[in-house]
Structure formats: structure tokens, C-alpha cells
């Protein structure tokens, strides 16, 4: 009759499987290990099973396999005191299981018993800890990738939205001057302000949507602008009024995408800073050329006359987050970025980026 106790742990496992969503795998593992150890104690009191009886042994082997599997799952999904308590409970239950049979007697038999239990439990512990380490590494990798992606989006938001908004401000100021004297040109400026506002809103909406999305739901990002888009960029800047832009950027299809995108963003940031901090500038020279195995980007403005002695945004890469962030990006690609005032007046931003990865 006591042999019916061999079905206790399978019944607990069946019930635990049905309520695992509510109780959790760790709770089911702890309950199964405790019941298994309790069954062993009851069998000691009621009389051990004969060794030649096969069906309790067959059920017991399935019980051992289930306990070891639960041990692996417990150590994989949880750490701390609760996981350690469950691991010790299952390890003790596995070690004591052979003592249900009357063949176990004497000190050497008990030593063999615990050696058998340790041999079974130790690989399960190692596998569980290994899988938990892999899961932790994967979570750290995913978190780092998401953090890098959000930083990238923040840079996009600063570079492109700030550029559009600064253009809107400059055009609005010009529109207020022309509103009374030349309503037609003022109306054209207001149309450009509307277009720039729509572009800024589109960039802002896309960035916010990406920041709110999970990794699995992230939409595909639009291709990054590169050297081919410099012409339209400088034309839009010149149309907004203020300064003429002279672009010297021969098409080069062999420039890596990351280098081309970084060069484009350097030009965007430099033009934005000219609009913000050098409104009297009349001519801006933009030069992007291949120099051997490097790409050189130079943006220089004439300043429009004598400049005040105070620092300007971008000086020594300390004045604003835009050039500082781009400086870090250029350094990550193995290049250099510097900016400073020229002797003849005006400001220059210069970057040198290797075409081959570091």
C-alpha cells in the first residue's frame, strides 16, 4: 500500500503545471521537492519498498527527471534566497530518493546514496546557472542596444529638429521685416516656414514614436542622409535668407554610409550654429572632400564683420551639446573634430574622418 506514495510527486507536478501561471515555477519546484522528501520519510516509517519492485522505481526515475528539470528552471529564472532554498530542497530530495528501497543499509550505502544525489544534482545546478548567465548577458546586451538607439534618436532630434526650428525663426524674423514693404516675398517666407515646421513635426513625431516603441515593435528607420543630400540642405539654408552657401562636395559613392551620415550631420550642426550665433554672416563655405584615406569636412563662415570677444557656441567643443556629441561620434570612427575662430573673422568647423573602420 505504501507504494502508492510513489504517485504523490507526479500528482503535485500535475497540479502545479495547471496553476503555474498563478503560483510560478519556483513555487511549484519548491512544493515538488518538499513532497518528494516527505514521501521518502513516510516510506522509511511505513517500510521500504523491495528493490525488485519495478513500477515504483520507474515512477521514481520520472520523478527524479522532473525534479532536476525544475531545478534547472528555478536557477535560470530566479536568484537569491528563495532560489537557493528550492535548490537545497530538491537536491536533498534527489539524494534521499534511493533510500526508499531496502537495499540501502550501512554507512557505505549512505555515502553512496549522497554521492549519487550529488552526481545528479550538480550538473543540473551548473546548467541552470549557465543559462541564467546567458539570459543576464542577453538582457544587458538588449538594454545597451536600446540605450544606444535612444541616444542616437536624441542626437537626431537635436541635429535635424533644431536645424528646422532655427530656420523657421530666421525666416519669421525676415518675414516681419518684409510684411509691410513686400507682402509677396513675406508670403513666400511664410510658406517656407510652414514647410520647415512640417518637417520638424514629422521628425519629432517619428522620434517620439520610436522612443515609445518596444524593440519588437520598432518601425524601420528611414535611410540616413549622406553626401548626396548636402545640395538640398544648403539650398534650403540659402533660401531661408541671411547667407549664401558655397558647396564644394564632389559626389563620391565609395564613402561608407556611417562616414557620409556623420559628415552630413556635421554640416547640419555647423549651419545651425551659424544661423544662431552669426546672423551677420554673408558667405558660408562648405567643403567635403576625400583626402587620401580620409574624408575632410570644413564649414567656414565669414562672420559678416568684427566678432565680439566672447566665446561662441562650439569653441573647444564646450559651448553646446551638438558639436560635443558629434565630436564623440567622430572620435568613435577614429577621426578628429575641432572648431574655432579664424584670424580674419568668422568661424570654422573642421572634421577629419577615416574612410576605413578603426
Task: Kindly state whether residue 18 falls inside one of the protein's structural domains.
Answer: yes
| Block residue for cell numbers 531661408 | 240
Q: What are the two backbone dihedrals, phi and then psi, of residue 335, each rounded to the nearest 5 degrees?
A: -110, -170
Burial of 162 (0-12, 13-18, 19+ CB in 10 A): buried
C-alpha radius of gyration, the chain, whole number: 36
Would you say 275 and 281 are in contact if contact means Cβ atoms under 8 Å apart?
no
Domain edge (last residue) among 73, 105, 137: 105
CA 200 to chain centre: 25
> What does the pLDDT look like over 158-180, one tens digit per residue?
666 666 676 677 667 667 766 77
Which CATH number belongs to the domain containing residue 310 in this structure? 3.30.565.10
Would you say 314 and 321 are in contact if contact means Cβ atoms under 8 Å apart?
no
> What does the pLDDT look like over 222-261, one tens digit per residue?
556 788 888 888 888 887 766 888 998 877 667 888 888 8
Task: Kindly state whether residue 196 falls inside one of the protein's structural domains.
Answer: no
Neighbours of 206 (CB within 10 A): 17
pLDDT at 286: 93
pLDDT at 312: 46
Task: Kindly state whether residue 354 falls inside one of the protein's structural domains.
Answer: yes
Q: Which residues of the chain have a pLDDT value below 50?
A: 216-219, 306-320
CA atoms within 13 A on the CB side of 175: 18
pLDDT at 134: 92
CA 319 to chain centre: 28
Q: In whole angstroms, give the CA distance from residue 217 to residue 225.
A: 23
Domain edge (last residue) among 52, 75, 105: 105
Query: Interhelix angle for 25-46 vs 8-18, to 10°?
Result: 160
pLDDT at 319: 42
Task: Kindly state whether residue 164 falls inside one of the protein's structural domains.
Answer: no
Total number of domains constituting the chain: 2
Would you say 259 and 355 are in contact if contact means Cβ atoms under 8 Å apart?
yes
pLDDT at 29: 87
Neighbours of 264 (CB within 10 A): 23
Task: Kindly state whether residue 310 falls inside one of the protein's structural domains.
Answer: yes
pTM value surpassing 0.85: no
Q: Residue 243 is part of which domain span?
A: 231-358
Of residues 315, 312, 310, the one with CA closest to residue 327: 315
Domain edge (last residue) among 87, 105, 123: 105
pLDDT at 255: 84
DSSP secondary structure string, 116-146? Answer: HHHHHHHHHHHHHHHHHHHHHHHHHHHHHHH
Q: In whole angstroms, give the CA distance from residue 72 to residue 165.
A: 56
Amino acid at each position: 500500500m505504501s507504494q502508492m506514495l510513489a504517485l504523490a510527486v507526479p500528482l503535485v507536478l500535475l497540479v502545479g503545471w495547471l496553476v503555474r501561471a498563478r503560483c510560478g515555477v519556483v513555487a511549484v519546484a519548491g512544493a515538488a521537492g518538499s513532497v518528494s522528501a516527505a514521501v521518502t520519510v513516510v516510506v522509511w516509517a511505513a517500510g521500504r519498498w523491495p528493490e525488485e519492485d519495478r513500477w515504483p522505481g520507474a515512477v521514481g526515475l520520472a520523478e527524479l527527471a522532473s525534479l532536476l528539470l525544475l531545478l534547472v528552471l528555478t536557477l535560470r529564472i530566479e536568484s537569491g534566497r528563495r532560489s537557493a532554498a528550492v535548490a537545497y530542497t530538491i537536491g536533498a530530495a534527489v539524494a534521499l530518493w534511493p533510500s526508499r528501497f531496502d537495499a540501502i543499509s550501512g554507512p557505505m550505502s549512505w555515502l553512496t546514496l549522497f554521492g549519487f544525489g550529488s552526481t545528479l544534482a550538480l550538473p543540473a545546478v551548473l546548467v541552470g546557472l549557465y543559462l541564467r548567465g546567458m539570459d543576464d548577458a542577453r538582457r544587458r546586451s538588449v538594454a545597451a542596444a536600446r540605450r544606444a538607439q535612444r541616444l542616437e534618436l536624441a542626437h537626431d532630434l537635436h541635429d535635424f529638429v533644431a536645424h528646422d526650428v532655427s530656420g523657421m525663426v530666421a525666416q519669421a524674423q525676415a518675414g516681419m521685416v518684409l510684411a509691410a514693404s513686400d507682402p509677396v516675398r513675406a508670403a513666400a517666407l511664410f510658406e517656407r516656414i510652414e514647410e520647415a515646421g512640417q518637417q520638424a513635426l514629422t521628425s519629432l513625431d517619428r522620434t517620439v514614436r520610436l522612443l515609445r516603441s518596444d524593440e519588437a515593435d520598432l518601425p524601420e528607420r528611414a535611410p540616413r542622409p549622406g553626401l548626396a543630400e548636402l545640395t538640398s540642405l544648403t539650398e534650403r539654408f540659402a533660401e531661408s535668407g541671411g547667407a549664401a552657401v558655397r558647396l564644394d562636395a564632389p559626389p563620391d559613392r565609395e564613402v561608407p554610409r556611417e562616414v557620409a551620415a556623420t559628415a552630413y550631420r556635421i554640416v547640419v550642426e555647423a549651419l545651425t550654429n551659424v544661423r544662431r550665433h552669426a546672423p551677420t554672416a554673408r558667405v558660408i563655405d562648405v567643403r567635403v572632400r576625400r583626402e587620401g584615406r580620409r574624408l575632410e569636412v570644413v564649414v567656414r563662415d565669414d562672420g559678416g564683420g568684427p566678432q565680439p570677444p566672447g566665446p561662441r557656441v562650439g569653441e573647444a567643443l564646450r559651448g553646446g551639446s551638438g558639436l560635443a556629441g558629434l565630436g564623440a561620434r567622430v572620435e568613435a570612427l577614429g577621426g578628429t573634430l575641432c572648431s574655432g575662430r579664424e584670424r580674419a573673422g568668422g568661424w570654422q568647423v573642421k572634421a577629419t574622418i577615416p574612410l576605413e573602420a578603426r
